[in-house]
Amino acid sequence: MPPARIGRYTMTAFIEVKNLKKYFPVQKGFLETILARKIEYVRAVDDISFEVERGEIFGLAGESGSGKTTTGRLILRLIEPTDGEAFFDKVNIFSLKKEELRNFRRHMQIIFQDPTASLNLRMKVGDAVGHPLQVYGIASPKERKKKVFEVLERVGLSPAEGFYEKYPHQLSGGQRQRVVIARALILNPEFIVADEPVAMIDVSLRAQIMNLMISLKDEFNLTFLYITHDLATAKYICDKIAIMYLGKIVETGLKDHIFNTPMHPYTISLLSAVPVPNPRLKPQRIIPKGEIPSPINPPSGCRFHPRCLIATGECSQEEPKLQRIGPNHYVACYHPGEIIKPK
């Protein structure tokens, strides 16, 4: 059951992630499995820790395969962790039994990246949005329909009566994403994982969806974990940002710290790729060497060192830990803030 609260919230840290790990066993053929001497694992998330304050939008950013989506699913316990802990108002989510977790999930929801894949194409919009209320036995059918109308209007699907009977294929990509947001809001949650919520919609509509999320955060007292590979959208919507690379958090801090004074070479290279309105102000592109290493056999030491333009011998020997270099600003690097010469 949810912890005791004063009003809607307790006066404690909201989301706490401690030493979280998720290793996926590598699938092999029958003969290869027999001959293999040991089981290999994909280290999707490898010992990360962070906190999300109540009422903020916390961004997880990085390239595809860095472990962002896996982290979000772990926090909601959609998948089970290999090790570590995740707390929701001091309640360890991984310690909850099945029925406790079912009741607890009312307070935590997710917005999936692909609204088409996350909606049942044979289920009408009204039924899809109202289904969580039916699952939890909330309100009568008439009251559920009224609630669905209200939330559809709130996410910009107006008039709601015109969308209630439609199927997902009759909607545009932006409208489908609004339906997914409405479904996440219907249970009045406190925490939402937004997994690349604007990646699958037209660029011209992204600002509308992000503005909607910001207004919903203020109206419903929401806290977001915003997962993205696009630092431009993270700059627009997030309060804090953590940069992930190959299952590790390499830098984290307030949005202004990350964008104005980036310290990790990987963060600097990502920021050099962010489009700017004035090309004359565009910094020279910094391209890391080579390709992303395999998460099955990650490099020793700093995982970014094989691609880093300023790596030294110590970078390959011992893994750097996140160190505080300013208020709310942490970086895992032996040479934080050093000038990188583009190649």
Instruction: Give the model confidence (pLDDT) of 113-161 as tens digits.
Output: 898 999 999 999 999 999 999 999 998 999 999 999 999 999 999 999 9
Considering the segment(s) 15-238 as one domain, its CATH architecture is 3-Layer(aba) Sandwich (3.40)
230-253: average pLDDT: 95
Mean pLDDT of the region 211-218: 93
H-assigned helices in the chain: 30-35, 68-75, 98-104, 115-118, 125-135, 141-154, 160-164, 173-185, 203-220, 231-237, 255-260, 265-271
CA distance 88 to 70: 17
Q: Which residues of the chain are in CATH 3.40.50.300 domains? A: 15-238
Q: Rounded mean pLDDT of 219-225?
A: 94
Q: Is a pLDDT exceeding 50 seen at residue 9?
A: no
pTM of the model: 0.90
Q: Which of 225, 136, 117 is nearest to 179 (CA)?
A: 117
pLDDT-above-90 percentage for the chain: 73
Contact 146, 177 (CB under 8 A): no
Give mean pLDDT, residues 219-233.
Answer: 94
